[in-house]
Structure 1
Amino acid sequence: MSAVIIDFFVLTGFLGSGKTSLLRDVLGAETASDTAVIVNEAGEVGLDGVLLRESGDDLPMAMLSNGCVCCQVGSDLAFTIDRLIMTPRPAGLPPLRRIILETSGLSMPGPVLRQLATLAEHRMRVAVIATYDLTRGLAVAEFEEAAAQWAAAHRIVATKADLVPDTLIEAPVSIAQLNPVAEAIATVDRTAAVSAAFAPLAASLPSREVALERRAAHPRLALCLVRPRGEIAYADLAGWLDNVAGALGERLLRIKGLVRVHEAPRPLLVESVGTMFSPPRQLTAEKPPAPFLVVIARDIDRAELEQVAPTGLFTFSWRASESGVAPRGIRAEWVT
């Protein structure tokens, strides 16, 4: 078990969206000596300045000249991470404080996070960082993988700003159409973008009340603001969340928000990526926003969510089609 809390970042994004360029910037930073990077193929990130390459039986590793450790993911991701954490650090280097996993462009974050659930003993703070390609914008939202990556993200980084700088001003608005609870990072300053993207993640929510002021980015993507009618029993909340996951399955992309329950003095932070839920915990902020849940789902009939038992706990505000459903393969108009 690590003596320090490690920030674990899942770097995701659709094909060609700039993930590897972002990762190269991390590797080139002077502060990378406390960082380990896991990539699908080590050659993708250009391991310049390699001092040492170890040919271990299961975990090929490379030590860069700035102290950053880079390795190639093996068949078992959890084993790879455990080896990275447990391997003694070379003399003169700081303790390992950050691990970045670069996923493939077609990877879904949910299965990756499920593998991390077996590593609770290492006290990692896990965050998903997604890239938003400014040259393609919302055009790739039609791909299920891209929608799942954006919906899972804690932070979404606008990339390729040097190619289309005029699109930066609208990037936060577009990102909010994909995931209104994600932090949008949109700047032409690459150093500032990298620093913000991979800064330690605080357990926080937006300081103001979340409002779905714009339509969703694609007809198959639904955004729903769910408001508790009041304090509810924890068992009812747990049952509702479990039933939502069961009813929607892989179409459920994200849930995040606050709910007040009878059994706790402070609001509970509720969060899921896909159907994998983090343990609810009490929010410590002095002035939390009003209780709410944001549900991001794909191909959903609004009745599926509104009729989930136990009913009557919440009110629902949708950004969906007039009929409340965006069937597979059928384009629908979304209300604003």
Structure 2
Amino acid sequence: MSAGGLDFFVLTGFLGSGKTSLLRDVLSADTASDTAVIVNEAGEVGLDGVLLRESGDDVPLAMLSNGCVCCQAGSDLAFTIDRLIMAPRPDGLPPLRRIILETSGLSMPGPVLRQLATLAEHHLRVAVIATYDLTRGLAVATFEEAVAQWAAAHRIVATKADLAPQALTEAPVAIAQLNPVAEGIVNADRAALASAAFAPLAASLPLRDVAPDLAAAHPRLALCLVRPPAEIAYADLASWLDNVAGALGERLLRIKGLVKVHEAPGPLLVESVGTMFSPPRQLSAANPPAPFIVVIARDIVRAELEQVPPSDLFAFSWRDPDSGAAQPRGIRAEWVT
């Protein structure tokens, strides 16, 4: 059992996007001895588990073969994680510092994270890692699962650079369009890529300022940049976030940003994957970005956000993608319909 908090990575990505290859690269490193892996595959034969065993015999490997963990109410995921954490470490191995869950290519990250709520006593530092297949790019964006995986990600990793080296240069821009608050991991060197993708987690992954001219890379995906004009009460912020989640439901893919509230001297970090929110907490960075909230959702119209109470706390400014005309109303956004 580890004495301190553990990093827990949910490795997600659409079918055939290079998840297992990326994980094998991680396990091939000398630092993999502090890592445990959970592989989720639908069906009775765990081929990914067989492939990962080739990477190192000292890595604890647990198999979940009860179908996609995101849609199994009786999933044994939480039990498996608890057993991995509580089990004594073999002689000669360092304490467990990192657990990686490789999900099925059709898993939705939000329901997976909800299953981790019962493990609060272990103080896991959780991040979603999504793969971006350079050989296919946005071609898989027609699948809702792929869009949800990218939107939920804290880090998006460009894979298969050896097969599509020409796409590597444009990858940072493409990743930023998919999810402007995710950290893009782009590197032609596979070992360096794997190391950066699963680097130790800080209290929070880096936040950068977000440009107001967001461009959605998928016709059903809306990226909305919200800039509160002034400090607001925490109760009003909580109410607005709750109402957004209630109004959009499963169409809400991601919320992340910084908001200045009356009750705290520093900006609060607010974050959700789907409708599951992390507890807001004060950011201690010396030079934080200007307050903002990014909302990523699918199949919505702007009136749905415009009417979410208490809407009078935000000045809405909509940009029409056809005319480019700005209409002063409160949220600054680019919409693709």
Q: TM-score normalised to the size of structure 2?
A: 0.88
Distance in 2, Cα, partners of 1:266 & 1:141: 37
Structure 1 residues 13 and 316, CA gap change in structure 2 (3 angstroms): farther
Determine which of 44, 48, 64 is the counterpart of 1:44.
Answer: 48
- Structure 1 match to 2:136: 136
Contact 2:222 2:335 in 1 (8 A): no
Pairwise CA distance, 1:160: 0.7
Answer whether contact 1:2 1:122 (CA < 8 A) is retained: no
Paired AA for residue 244 in structure 1 = V
CA contact (8 A) 1:10 1:127 kept: yes
- 2:269 matches 1:273: no
CA contact (8 A) 1:205 1:257 kept: no
| Counterparts in 2 of 1:318 and 1:297: CA distance versus 1, 3 Å | farther
Q: SS state of the match for residue 169, structure 1?
A: coil
**Matches of 1:207 and 1:219 in 2, distance apart?**
26
Matched with 2:111 is 111
Match runs of 1:65-214 below 5 Å? 65=57, 67-73=58-64, 75-204=75-204, 206=206, 208-214=208-214
Task: Show the counterpart of 1:59.
Answer: none
Structure 1: 5+ residue stretches without partners:
51-63, 325-332
TM-score after normalising by structure 1: 0.88
Provide the secondary structure at the position in 2 that maps to 1:289: coil
Deviation, structure 1 residue 94? 0.6
Aligned length: 314
Aligned counterparts, 1:321-336, within 5 A: 322=322
**CA deviation string 1:147-185 (max 9, x = no partner):** 100000000000111011011110010111110010111
Q: 1:227 matched to which residue of 2? A: 227
| Farther off after superposition, 207-216 or 79-88 | 207-216
Q: What amino acid maps onto 1:72 in structure 2?
A: M
Shift, 1:321, TM fit: 5.0
8 Å CA contact 2:154, 2:205 repeated in 1: no
Q: Is residue 2:22 matched to residue 1:22? A: yes
Instruction: State the Cα deviation string for residues 69-96 of structure 1 (Å, max 9, x = none).
Output: 1111263111110011011111111110
CA distance change for structure 1 residues 207 and 298 in 2, over 3 Å: closer, same or farther? closer
Unaligned regions of 5+ residues in structure 2, if any?
A: 67-74, 325-333
Write the distance in 2 (CA, Å) between the matches of 1:157 and 1:244: 29
Q: Amino acid of the residue matched to residue 109 of structure 1?
A: P
Q: Which amino acid aligns with 1:305?
A: L
8 Å CA contact retained: 1:78, 1:119: yes
Sequence identity (%): 80
Aligned alpha-carbon RMSD (Å): 2.2
Contact 2:230 2:260 in 1 (8 A): yes
Distance 1:94 1:21 in 2: 24
C-alpha spacing 1:172/1:212, structure 2 compared with 1 (3 Å): farther
